[in-house]
Structure 1
Amino acid sequence: MTGRKDEIKTLEDACYRDKSSLIAIYGRRRIGKTYLVNYMFREYKKDCIFFDFIGSSDMESRNQITNFLDKIYEWFRVETDRKIENWTDAFSFLKRVLLDKMEQRDSEKVVIFIDEIPWVDRKNNTGFIDALGHFWNSFAEPRKNFMVIVCGSNASWIIKNIMKNEGPLHNRVTDQLPMMPFTLVETKEYLEKSGFDLDNRMVLDAYMVFGGVAKYLSYLNPKLSIVENISKLFFNINGFLFNEYEQVFKSLFGVKYKYYRDVIDVLGKKRLGLTLSEICVALDIKLGEKIKNTLLELQQCGFIHGVSKYGLSSTNIKYRISDSFCTFYHFWLKPLSKNRVANLPNEYWMEIVTTQKYAIWSGYSFESVIFSNIELYLQARSSKAHYQGVYYWEYRTKDKNESGTQIDMVVEYKHGLFDIVECKYYSDEFVISKSYETNLRNKLTQFRKHALSKRKRSELKLVMLTSFGCKKNSYYHGLNIADDIQLDDLI
Structure 2
Amino acid sequence: MLIGRDIERAQLRELLASPNAELLALYGRRRVGKTYLIRSFFANQLVFELSGLQDAPLTQQLDNFAFWLSRSFAEGIILPRPPSWTAAFQLLIQYLEANPKKEKQVLFLDELPWLDTPKSGFLGAFDLFWNSWASRQTNLIVVICGSAASWMIQHVVNNKGGLHNRITRRIRLLPFTLAETESFLKSQRVLLDRYQLLQLYMVMGGIPHYLKEVRPGESATQTIDRLCFTKDGLLQDEFKNLYAALFNRADRHVALIKLLANKPQGLTRNELIASGSFQSGGTVTQLLSELFESGFIAHYLPFGKTSKDAIYKLTDEYSLFYLKFIDNSRANGPGTWLSKSMGQSWTSWAGLAFEQIGQKHMPQLKQALGIANVYTEHSAWRYTPKNAGETGVQIDLLIDRQDHVINLCELKFSTNEFVITKAYAETLERKRRVFQQQTHTRKTIFLTLITTFGVKPNPYATSLIQSQLTMDALFAVK
TM-score, length of structure 2 as denominator length = 0.95
Shift in alpha-carbon separation, 1:314–1:431, aligned structure 2, 3 A: same
Match of 2:314 in 1: 321
Match of 1:54 in 2: 51
CA contact (8 A) 2:192 2:219 kept: no
Q: CA deviation at 1:286?
A: 4.3
Match of 2:382 in 1: 394
CA contact (8 A) 2:230 2:334 kept: no
Q: Work out whether 1:97 is the aligned partner of 2:90.
A: no
Aligned mates of 1:184, 1:203 — CA distance in 2: 8
Match of 1:269 in 2: 262
Match of 1:306 in 2: 299
Aligned mates of 2:46, 2:420 — CA distance in 1: 62
Q: CA deviation at 1:16?
A: 2.8
Percent of aligned pairs with the same amino acid:
32
Q: Work out whether 1:25 is the aligned partner of 2:26.
A: yes
Q: Secondary structure at the match of 2:352?
A: helix
Aligned mates of 1:6, 1:122 — CA distance in 2: 33
Match of 2:106 in 1: 111
Q: Work out whether 1:289 is the aligned partner of 2:282.
A: yes
Aligned mates of 1:83, 1:220 — CA distance in 2: 42
Aligned mates of 2:333, 2:144 — CA distance in 1: 45
Q: Work out whether 1:435 is the aligned partner of 2:429.
A: no
Match of 1:38, as an amino acid? R
Match of 1:196 in 2: 190
Match of 1:253, as an amino acid? F
Match of 1:64 among 61, 64, 71: 61
CA contact (8 A) 1:23 1:174 kept: yes
Q: Secondary structure at the match of 1:377?
A: helix
Match of 1:470 in 2: 455
Match of 2:367 in 1: 379
Match of 2:474 in 1: 490
Q: Work out whether 1:126 is the aligned partner of 2:120.
A: yes
Match of 2:12 in 1: 11
Aligned mates of 2:158, 2:407 — CA distance in 1: 37
Aligned mates of 1:13, 1:68 — CA distance in 2: 29
4+ residue runs of structure 1 moved beyond 4 angstroms?
78-83
Match of 1:154 in 2: 148
Match of 1:74 among 53, 68, 71: 71
Q: CA deviation at 1:122?
A: 5.9
Match of 1:165, as an amino acid? N
Match of 1:347 in 2: 335
Deviation by residue 1:263-313 (Cα, 9 ceiling, x = unmatched)? 111111111112222222334334421110110110000000112221112
Q: Work out whether 1:414 is the aligned partner of 2:402.
A: yes
CA contact (8 A) 2:239 2:322 kept: yes
Deviation by residue 1:356-415 (Cα, 9 ceiling, x = unmatched)? 221221111000111111111111112122233211111122333332211121111114
Q: CA deviation at 1:130?
A: 1.8
Deviation by residue 1:125-166 (Cα, 9 ceiling, x = unmatched)? 532122112111221121211010001112222122112222
Match of 1:460 in 2: 445
Q: CA deviation at 1:428?
A: 0.9
* Greater per-residue helix proportion: 1
Match of 1:85 in 2: 83
Match of 2:206 in 1: 212
Deviation by residue 1:404-429 (Cα, 9 ceiling, x = unmatched)? 21112111111432110011001111
Aligned mates of 1:83, 1:70 — CA distance in 2: 8
For structure 2, the 5+ residue unaligned runs are none
Shift in alpha-carbon separation, 1:300–1:81, aligned structure 2, 3 A: closer
Match of 2:227 among 230, 233, 240: 233
Q: Work out whether 1:426 is the aligned partner of 2:389.
A: no
Aligned mates of 1:331, 1:259 — CA distance in 2: 19
Q: CA deviation at 1:345?
A: 4.4
Match of 1:269, as an amino acid? N
Q: CA deviation at 1:12?
A: 2.2
Aligned mates of 2:55, 2:170 — CA distance in 1: 26
Aligned mates of 1:383, 1:126 — CA distance in 2: 53
Aligned mates of 1:80, 1:348 — CA distance in 2: 52
CA contact (8 A) 1:41 1:50 kept: no
Shift in alpha-carbon separation, 1:448–1:286, aligned structure 2, 3 A: farther
Shift in alpha-carbon separation, 1:138–1:362, aligned structure 2, 3 A: same
Aligned mates of 1:61, 1:381 — CA distance in 2: 55
Aligned mates of 2:79, 2:344 — CA distance in 1: 69
Q: Secondary structure at the match of 1:190?
A: helix
Shift in alpha-carbon separation, 1:482–1:122, aligned structure 2, 3 A: farther
Q: CA deviation at 1:237?
A: 2.4
Match of 2:175 in 1: 181
Q: CA deviation at 1:257?
A: 1.1
Equivalent pairs counted in the alignment come to 473
Deviation by residue 1:309-352 (Cα, 9 ceiling, x = unmatched)? 2111222222111111111111110132xxx45xx342221222
> Structure 1 residues 2-11 or 395-404, which shifts more?
395-404
Match of 2:243, as an amino acid? F
Aligned mates of 2:246, 2:79 — CA distance in 1: 36
Q: Secondary structure at the match of 2:190?
A: coil
Aligned mates of 1:273, 1:412 — CA distance in 2: 20
Q: CA deviation at 1:8?
A: 1.7
Aligned mates of 1:41, 1:285 — CA distance in 2: 43
Aligned mates of 1:450, 1:33 — CA distance in 2: 45
RMSD across aligned positions (CA): 1.8
CA contact (8 A) 1:49 1:108 kept: no
Match of 1:202, as an amino acid? Q
Q: CA deviation at 1:82?
A: 7.8
